[in-house]
């Protein structure tokens, strides 16, 4: 260890280790079934690995173009046109990123100036606020309604000031599994109409929506699409969270600004993996089948908990299930999640970790992106408390 005596003026004094790392570490220390962090415990398909290996063997191992390999940007453009009816220009309007997290950070860094305000919805995904604060912006919180986690648009309207530079939305929503409707997007479009507010739309779970719903992307709303940057993640879609590859979409004027930061932030993203994904995603059934795949897992997990004392909240999308536990315990959600991990043997995330003010509604989040045997083993333990 090297001891430093520098007086460091931290840009993020309140930030410690994320709750996901803390709970995953605790789960592994206790040998608990880890339903905390959002990653699958099953393999992606061999065809994806084959295509990636082939790209390596073909010598595609050097820097790709800054915006991403042409094959992948073309495949993304085709997917978007067929899903949302909007044709993005692969040259100017699509950039491949090192996961959604980097896309979100870079978008914030490109548009948010010191002192600007950014509206986020609480509970809020953990990377947004530190990203805003790193660049000197100020997060302004709109509460989602409990327990259905829908936005209160009148409250959002009241939060807008001349300093509001950006609104970040996330649908399907982590941690709640709620989704925005076409009406929500229409109201948002109306709220921002006469402003220069940029909408940053985190749609990493775009292919995981249940019960016959269609994902409402800002991409399919012309007025919003013109002022939005939309972010997605191949990690979520193809069961490869560790590859850290995603993309961002936006009108050429916005994308130009995004790329100014991107080129000095990461510059480019792993070449052979991009080519492997481009090849793999040409078979649309691989993303179109995802909703059904996870709907079965959701239903299986909910069935496991039916005879338990947890109260399950609705789950319209994502691979997360929220559960109230007030019939089991009066502990705070952090204490409950720790007890669940240590004494019951199942790790979950306390939802207060997503609330900047620590608001605690007595709810924990389980990740059901797991094999059935994992979910069944967890269910057996959870039914006993």
Instruction: Assess 203 for contact with ligand PLP (CB under 6 A).
Output: no
Instruction: Assess 368 for contact with ligand PLP (CB under 6 A).
Output: no
Instruction: Compare residues 173 and 308 and give the one whose CB is closer to ligand PLP.
Output: 173
Residue 71 makes CB contacts below 8 A (sequence gap 6+) with 274, 275, 278, 279
Instruction: Assess 125 for contact with ligand PLP (CB under 6 A).
Output: yes
> Do 224 and 187 contact (CB within 8 A), yes or no?
no
Instruction: Assess 99 for contact with ligand PLP (CB under 6 A).
Output: yes
CB of 358 to ligand PLP, least distance (A): 20
Single out the residue of 174, 201, 270, 304 in contact with ligand PLP (rule: CB under 6 A).
174
Binding-site size for ligand PLP (CB under 6 A) equals: 14
Tell me the two tokens of residue 374.
């994992």
Single out the residue of 246, 317, 345, 379 in contact with ligand PLP (rule: CB under 6 A).
246
Instruction: Assess 178 for contact with ligand PLP (CB under 6 A).
Output: no
Instruction: Compare residues 38 and 151 and give the one whose CB is closer to ligand PLP.
Output: 38
Q: 368 phi and psi, to 5 degrees?
A: -105, 20
Tell me the two tokens of residue 24.
């995953």
CB of 96 to ligand PLP, least distance (A): 12
Q: Which stretch binds ligand PLP (CB under 6 A): 7-15, 233-241, 264-272, 288-296?
A: 233-241
Partners of 317 in the beta sheet? 209
Instruction: Assess 40 for contact with ligand PLP (CB under 6 A).
Output: no
Instruction: Assess 170 for contact with ligand PLP (CB under 6 A).
Output: yes
Instruction: Compare residues 143 and 241 and give the one whose CB is closer to ligand PLP.
Output: 241
What per-residue string of b and e applies to 36-60 under the rule 16 or more CB within 10 Å gives b? bbbbbeeeeeeebeebbeebeeeeb
CB of 16 to ligand PLP, least distance (A): 18
DSSP string across 179-236: ---HHHHHHHHHHHTTS-PEEEEE-TTTT-B-TTPPP--GGGSHHHHTTEEEEEEHHH
Instruction: Assess 206 for contact with ligand PLP (CB under 6 A).
Output: no
CB of 205 to ligand PLP, least distance (A): 7
| CA 233 – CA 131 distance, rounded (Å) | 18
Residue 288: other Cβ atoms inside 10 A: 13
Q: Which residue is nearest to ligand PLP (CB)?
A: 99
Residue 214: other Cβ atoms inside 10 A: 13
Q: Which residues bind ligand PLP (CB under 6 A)?
A: 38, 99-101, 125, 170, 174, 202, 204, 233, 235, 241, 244, 246
């Amino acid at each position: 260890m090297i001891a430093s005596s520098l007086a460091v003026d931290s840009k993020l004094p309140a930030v410690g280790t994320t709750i996901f790392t803390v709970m995953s570490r605790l789960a592994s220390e206790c040998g608990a079934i880890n339903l905390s962090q959002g990653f699958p415990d099953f393999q992606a398909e061999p065809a994806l690995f084959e295509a990636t290996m082939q790209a390596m063997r073909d010598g595609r191992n050097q820097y790709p173009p800054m915006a991403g390999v042409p094959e992948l940007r073309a495949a993304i453009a085709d997917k978007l046109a067929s899903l949302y009816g909007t044709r993005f220009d692969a040259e100017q309007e699509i950039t491949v990123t090192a996961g959604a997290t980097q896309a979100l950070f870079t978008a914030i860094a490109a548009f948010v100036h010191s002192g600007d305000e950014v509206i986020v919805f609480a509970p809020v995904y953990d990377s947004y606020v530190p990203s805003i604060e790193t660049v000197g912006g100020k997060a302004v919180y709109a509460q989602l309604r409990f327990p259905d986690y829908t936005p209160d648009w009148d409250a959002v309207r009241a939060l807008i000031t001349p300093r509001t530079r950006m609104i970040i939305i996330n649908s399907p929503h982590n941690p709640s599994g709620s989704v925005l409707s076409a009406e929500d997007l229409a109201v948002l479009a109306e709220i921002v109409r006469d402003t220069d507010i940029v909408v940053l739309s985190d749609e990493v779970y775009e292919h995981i929506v249940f019960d016959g719903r269609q994902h409402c992307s800002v991409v399919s709303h012309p007025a919003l699409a013109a002022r939005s940057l939309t972010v997605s993640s191949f990690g979520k879609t193809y069961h490869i969270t560790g590859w850290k590859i995603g993309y961002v979409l936006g009108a050429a004027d916005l994308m130009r600004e995004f790329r100014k930061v991107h080129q000095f932030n990461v510059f480019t993203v792993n070449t052979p993996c991009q080519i492997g994904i481009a090849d793999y995603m040409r078979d649309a059934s691989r993303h179109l089948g995802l909703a059904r795949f996870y709907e079965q897992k959701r239903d299986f997990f909910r069935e496991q908990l039916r005879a338990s004392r947890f109260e399950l909240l609705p789950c319209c999308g994502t691979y997360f299930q929220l559960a109230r536990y007030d019939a089991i315990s009066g502990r705070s959600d952090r204490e409950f999640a720790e007890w669940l991990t240590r004494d019951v043997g199942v790790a979950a995330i306390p939802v207060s970790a997503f609330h900047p003010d620590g608001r605690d509604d007595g709810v924990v989040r389980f990740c059901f992106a797991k094999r059935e045997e994992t979910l069944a083993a967890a269910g057996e333990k959870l039914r006993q408390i």
